[in-house]
Amino acid sequence: MISFPLASRLAIALMAAGGVLTATGAVAQDSLRLDQLQVIGSHNSYHAGLDPAIRSRLLVSDPDLVKELDYQHPSLTAQLDGGVRQLELDLYSDRAGGRFAHPHRPGIPGEAWPLSLSDQAVMNQPGFKVMHIPDLDQHASCQPLLRCLGQIRDWSNAHPDHVPVFVILEVEQHNDVPGGTDVEPFDASSYDALDAAIRSVFPPSGIVTPDDVRGDAPDLRAAILDRGWPALKQARGKVIFLLDQRNDRTLYLKGHPSLRGRVAFTNADPQAPDAAFTELNDGPAADIAALVRRHFLVRARADADTVEGRSGDGQRRDAILASGAQIVSTDYPDAEPARWSGYHVGFPENTPARCNPVSAPPACQSRLIEPPAQGDFHLTRMIMVMRHGIRSPLVGQVPPGVGIPGGWPAWKGAPGDLTAHGAVGMMALGTFDRTWMTDAGLIPAKTCPAAGSVAVRANSSARTIASAEAFVRGFMPGCPITVQHKPLGQPDVLFSPLDADPGRFDMRAIVPQLPDAERIFREREAALRLLGNVLTCAPGACDFLHAPAHIAADATGHQLVLSGPVAQASSLSEALMLAYLDGRPLLQTPSGTLDVGQLGTLSALHAGMLEAVVRPRALAELLSRDMRTRLLKDLMQEDGPVFRLYMGHDDTIAPLLTMLGIHIRVPGYAEDEIPIGSALGFAVYDNGNGERRVRLLIQSQTPQALREPDRAELPVVLYPQVPDCILSGGMCLLENLAGRLSASL
């Protein structure tokens, strides 16, 4: 029986963490204070990546440094177009000009490093320069500072209703690289020159200054504690400058008590008179939330040094987002997912700003904070292909004579059925998707959607039907949304073409085109050894661990026969994962507890099976043919449901990934594993002028979140990069995506 109180607590937690509220009617979002918002920022926004020639040399001398610096951003304008509302610029003083015009190998001034003639001409000009590290990492998307500021001003003028853009200025006083170009220290006159440079680009009406915030209060801190930051209506279309380094304060405050007459806000101790903005880049989240409740503006970082970008781990990101930090900085904004893992930082609502999850009033609606500009693309339709929820093992999933310490757990219901725990997880996904789709304006907040605006279709197995029904209960509780499906057990070619139309599969012709299964599983030797250490085996029962992985056509020529680890090892690794996800006691083996990290290692065996017999092109084309035809129709139609859900299996999603040319890595699982309850999404955007774009996403819950629903952990959402989809924000032209989906149809 489903624990509805548990599901309700999870739903409430997800809604709170997502900052999604369901108050009816539009409210005056302009009355929100700036400290009641949350925006995404980019770290080192100017960073255009290492020069290739310098990178190749550093790979030899300092590969760890190259790893840390292995990120880059598009132009400032492109980032703002993609929804970033905080930019960061690292500044170097260069009063005379020419200080950075001759980069060289540190310690060897005679060995010049690459710098184009045009860049050299810019570097010879007097004025503030923008870069990361002199000599090593000078490549910036805009140079000098005045040009960067001009780009921000021009974008702001073209988008007069934007929420304020925060520009963090990191003043660089030293070059920590031995033998590198000397840096010109900042003094009081340098800060005066910086203010003058900003004022030369932005008129007084284009910026929010400390004087604007302080008003008639004795100091900034008193103003913040008494009334908070100004209302959004006073800051729309403006820019706010923030100093990054706390040790900048002394000189910047000199002659300007409480920042009187200054342009930028300092990174101040919350007890200081100039305190309005502070940084807690690494948290902790509880300290951030406490400051947010007192109206201070807080900046924190969701990731650092490419660590999260490589691993895909979103725990730090999710904690920082939930903390209420108004400015969440990242190397990977939504429009720039990490190329290794798809990791990104953004809001489920797909908006440039959202209601602050800690400080926003109940009537706040994220989608109304910054309405799309004329001609901007906005979400108009969502299509998802989802794998069912947690099920019990299938008949034959555990071979005879193969056990585990303490014995395999007992399962209620028929083999392969959705479990009660699995139903809770699917309801939670439904709740999560409802909250962000509501705030995106796709579906109503408190009433049932209009007839025909939501369509749900499931495969004809008991677990897929039950999964879809549980999702609907979380998505639209009490609403008359019917899950469409064929009669129970009747094969549906949309999801199960091997069963519904086996004649299309000439396996004798296909098998020679498949990859070497033996190679695939020998590459997973560590996972096979781990599985062998976990299992208890009757004589001969576990010989498959060392047998060759073999794939052949069966006697009919229309099905496959799998033997060795490609069959049994993948099935057993999944059975162990299912027990963990369902909340069963952790398995105690002779070598210790089988933890979630080891289960992630074992998931490589199931992913190996998909690589061997589901993802290969020769099979993927046939397995996905009907679903691709259906998706093309959904994507091309002008009207129809705003949300479509297809509830299927791992072998429904994996062939689509092959045809789209993408690979995935969900935290907690091996590469290209299709987790329980995960979904491939197609977000369709329209600009009102007949132009449409599509953005792909992968949505999944981590193993820990599925096992412990009370964690109220937000699902992971990744944006895989589709070849040929190179538009801003990872968008695809509809025709480009259609070309991939229509291959061989």
Per the prediction, the chain carries an average pLDDT of: 89
Nearest CA among 485, 415, 482 for reference residue 449: 482
Instruction: Inform me whether the pLDDT recorded for 480 exceeds 60.
Output: yes
Q: Rounded to the nearest 5°, which phi and psi values hold at 671?
A: -60, 135
Residue 601 is predicted with a pLDDT of 96
Separation between Cα atoms, residue 642 and residue 205, nearest integer Å: 41
Q: Is the per-residue pLDDT at 77 higher than 60?
A: yes
- CB within 8 A of 512, min separation 6: which ones? none
> Cα–Cα distance between 259 and 210 in angstroms, integer?
6
- With a CB cutoff of 8 Å and minimum separation 6, the contacts of 288 are 280, 298, 300, 320, 323, 324, 325
Contacts of 192 (CB under 8 A, 6+ apart): none
H/E element, 550: strand 550-553
Cβ proximity of 350 and 727 under 8 Å: no
What is the average pLDDT across 261-283?
Answer: 96
DSSP designation for 715: P
In Å, what is the CA distance from 255 to each residue of 197, 246, 249, 438? 19, 17, 12, 50
The answer on pLDDT for 243 being more than 90 is yes
| pLDDT at residue 457, as a whole number | 98
Task: Return the ∠ at Cα 302 (arms to 296 and 304), rounded to 5°.
Answer: 120
Our CA angle for 212, 200, 149, nearest 5°, is 90
Q: Do residues 197 and 155 lie in contact, with contact meaning Cβ atoms separated by under 8 Å?
A: no
Cα 360 to Cα 351: distance, rounded to the nearest angstrom: 16
Cβ burial of 619 (10 Å; 0-12, 13-18, 19+) is buried
**From residue 196, how far is each of 168, 202, 533 by CA, in Å?**
16, 10, 68
Per-residue pLDDT of 680-732, as tens digits, reads: 999 998 887 888 899 898 999 989 999 998 776 778 888 887 887 767 656 78
210 against 140, higher pLDDT: 210
Which has the closest alpha carbon to 471: 347, 644, 640, 626? 644
Cα→Cα distances 137→10, 133, 207, 507, Å: 45, 5, 30, 54
Alpha carbons 123 and 112: distance in angstroms, whole number: 15
Phi, psi of 426 (to 5 degrees): -70, -35
- Name the residue among 306, 418, 405, 381 with its Cα closest to residue 631: 381
Query: Above pLDDT 90, what percent of the chain?
Result: 69
State the Cα–Cα distance between residues 459 and 359, nearest whole angstrom.
Answer: 43
The values of phi and psi at residue 710, to 5°, are -65, -15
Q: Is the pLDDT of residue 614 over 50?
A: yes
Distance CA 174, CA 356 (A): 36
The pLDDT, as a whole number, for residue 59 is: 79
Mean pLDDT of 139-165: 94
The partner residues of 563 in beta bridges, in order of sequence, read: 550
CB-count exposure of residue 706 (10 Å: 0-12, 13-18, 19+):
buried
CB 288 within 8 A of CB 325: yes
Whether the CB-CB separation of 721 and 730 falls below 8 Å is answered with yes
The pLDDT assigned to 726 comes to 66
Q: Which residues pair with 390 in a beta bridge?
A: none
Model confidence at 6, pLDDT cuts 50, 70, 90, reads very low
Q: What fold does the segment set 33-371 form as a domain?
A: TIM Barrel (3.20.20)
Distance CA 26, CA 38 (A): 19
Query: In one letter, which amino acid is 597?
Result: G
- The DSSP symbol for 368 reads G
pLDDT for 63:
85
Per-residue pLDDT of 145-156, as tens digits, reads: 999 999 999 999
Report the CATH fold assignment for 375-388+415-510+622-744: Rossmann fold (3.40.50)
Residue 60 CB neighbours (<10 A): 8
pLDDT band at 17 (very low <50, low <70, confident <90, very high): very low
- How far CA 698 is from CA of 89, 383, 435, 523, in Å, comes to 32, 12, 17, 26
515-615: CATH, from 3.30.450.30, 3.40.50.1240, 1.10.540.10, 1.10.490.10:
3.40.50.1240
Instruction: State the SS3 of 236-297.
Output: CCCEEEEECCHHHHHHHHCCCHHHCCCCCECECCCCCCCCCEEECCCCCHHHHHHHHHCCCE
- CA gap 670, 607 in Å, rounded: 7
| Residue 10, pLDDT above cutoff 80 | no
- 65 pLDDT band, cuts 50/70/90, is confident
- What is the model's pLDDT at position 361? 92
Candidate from 282-286, 333-337, 464-468 with smallest mean pLDDT: 333-337
Q: What's the confidence (pLDDT) of residue 349? A: 65
Residue 95 has pLDDT above 90, yes or no: yes
Per-residue pLDDT band at 33 (split at 50, 70, 90): very high
The full DSSP string for 608-667 is HHHHHHTSSHHHHHHHTHHHHHHHHHHHH-SSS-SEEEEEE-HHHHHHHHHHHT-----T
Equal CATH topology for 375-388+415-510+622-744 and 515-615: yes
Name the amino acid, one letter, at 48. A
The total number of residues shown for the chain amounts to: 745
Among 264-278, 398-412, 437-451, name the one with the lowest average pLDDT. 437-451
pLDDT more than 70, % of the chain: 94
What is the per-residue pLDDT for 23?
29
- Residues 275-309: tens digit of each pLDDT: 999 999 999 999 999 999 999 999 999 999 989 99
Q: Which tokens in the block code for residue 343?
A: 């990791």
What is the token pair recorded at 193?
Answer: 């020159």
Domain boundaries, the chain: 33-371, 375-388+415-510+622-744, 515-615
Q: Where are the beta strands (DSSP E) in 13-85?
A: 37-42
